[in-house]
Amino acid sequence: MTALLAGTGLAKVFGPTPALVDASLRVDAGEIVAIMGPSGSGKSTLLHCLAGIVRPDAGRVEYDGRELSALPDAARSALRRGEFGFVFQFGQLVPELSCAENVALPLRLGGAGRRDAARRAADWLDRLEVGGAARQRPGEVSGGQAQRVAVARALVTGPRVVFADEPTGALDSLNGERVMDLFTAAARDGGAAVVLVTHEARVAAYADREVVVRDGATPDRAGVAP
Ligand SMILES: Nc1ncnc2c1ncn2[C@@H]1O[C@H](COP(=O)(O)OP(=O)(O)O)[C@@H](O)[C@H]1O
Ligand SMILES: [Mg+2]
């Protein structure tokens, strides 16, 4: 079976620093894969290559039968906007918008009406128990609240692939479990492929598979094995 998303032999150098050397990872629809490994090993870079945010120097990324790196920038961003959801390691909410507007943004960019987007955003904020932060800006809420807002923003569109970089890093264990339950539902009920970077064994325990990155490589080829 062809994977929904597969990166093979990915390499990326930033200046003198090799961030990725030879990393491979595949994920099927409905599957949760955890990327683990020491700090600085290349986990975020691997995630960004898979998501088409960083263009790898070598290797290829195929999504739904298309090679991502061969797509023009506009097509790649349309894909990211329409079919991918992201939770970045350092939040990256839009500081000028309220939390509710941040969650509504991907819906609005996808053409949803203002009211419909607002209603769905409010719904997701409630689901993550951050409805109280709806009118506040990201700078006015706690790190844990902002992280949950970012999770709501990633899931609100019902994406086919969810990319999450340390999505529970700022959360206590109860909220971490809530977030993982929502990712699990996105995979099991929504058929999403979920790729998440984590340090935490209890978070990785939700995954179907773990892929370990070490010095920019996935040496055991676990990323490729079905
Ligand atoms: N944009 C960048 N510019 C320069 N160096 C980078 C950049 N992104 C990552 N790196 C470097 O690449 C290596 C891997 O980084 P990263 O993928 O963020 O690792 P991890 O997420 O596992 O902590 C590190 O040495 C890091 O400093
Ligand atoms: Mg990282």
30 or 170: which leads in pLDDT: 30
pLDDT at 90: 73
Q: What is the pLDDT of residues 148-202, one digit of tens each?
A: 999 999 999 999 999 999 999 888 999 899 999 999 999 999 999 999 999 899 9
Report the SS3 class of residue 30: coil
Of 210, 139, 150, the closest CA to residue 182 belongs to 150
Average pLDDT, stretch 1-25?
93
- The mean per-residue pLDDT over the stretch 102-115 comes to 95
Could you tell which of 12, 14, 35, 89 is best to mutate to test the pocket of ligand 1, judged by most ligand atoms within 8 Å of the CB? 14
Quote the CA–CA distance of 190 and 99 in Å, as a whole number. 24
Among the atoms of ligand 1, which is closest to the Cα of residue 46?
Answer: 17
- Which ligand is located closest to the Cα atom of residue 37? 1
∠ CA 208-225-151, nearest 5°, is 35
Average pLDDT, the chain: 92
pLDDT for residue 131 is more than 80: yes
pLDDT classification of 226: cutoffs 50, 70, 90: very low
Residue nearest to atom 25 of ligand 1 (CA): 40
Q: What are the tokens at 102?
A: 């941040």
Q: How confident is the model at residue 78 (pLDDT cuts 50, 70, 90)?
A: confident
Round to the nearest angstrom and report the end-to-end CA distance of the chain: 9
Please tell me the distance between residue 165's alpha carbon and the centre of ligand 2 in angstroms.
7
pLDDT computed for residue 152 by the predictor: 95
Q: What is the pLDDT of residue 225?
A: 47
Q: What ligand has the least distance to the C-alpha of 167?
A: 2
Give 5's strand partners: 27, 63
The residue nearest atom 17 of ligand 1, judged by CA position, is: 42
Mode of pairing for the β-strands spanning 193-197 and 32-36: parallel
pLDDT of 91 > 90? The answer is: no
C-alpha 118/C-alpha 196 separation (Å) is 27
Q: Residue 213 CA: which ligand 1 atom is closest? A: 22
The number of beta carbons lying within 10 Å of the beta carbon of residue 185 is 13
Q: How far is it, in rounded angstroms, from Cα 84 to Cα 152? A: 13
Using the atom order of ligand 1, give the atom closest to the CA of residue 47: 17
Q: Give residue 88's pLDDT.
A: 86
Find the ligand nearest to 90 CA. Answer: 2
Q: Which residues line ligand 1 (CB under 6 A)?
A: 14-15, 17, 19, 37, 39-45
Across-strand partners of 32? 194
> How far is the C-alpha of 217 from the C-alpha of 75, rounded, in Å?
28
Q: Ligand 1 atom 11: the closest Cα is on which residue?
A: 19
40: CB partners within 8 A, 6+ apart: none
Give CA separation, 160 vs 26, 40, 104, 194, 204, in Å: 14, 28, 18, 8, 20
**pTM given for the model:** 0.93
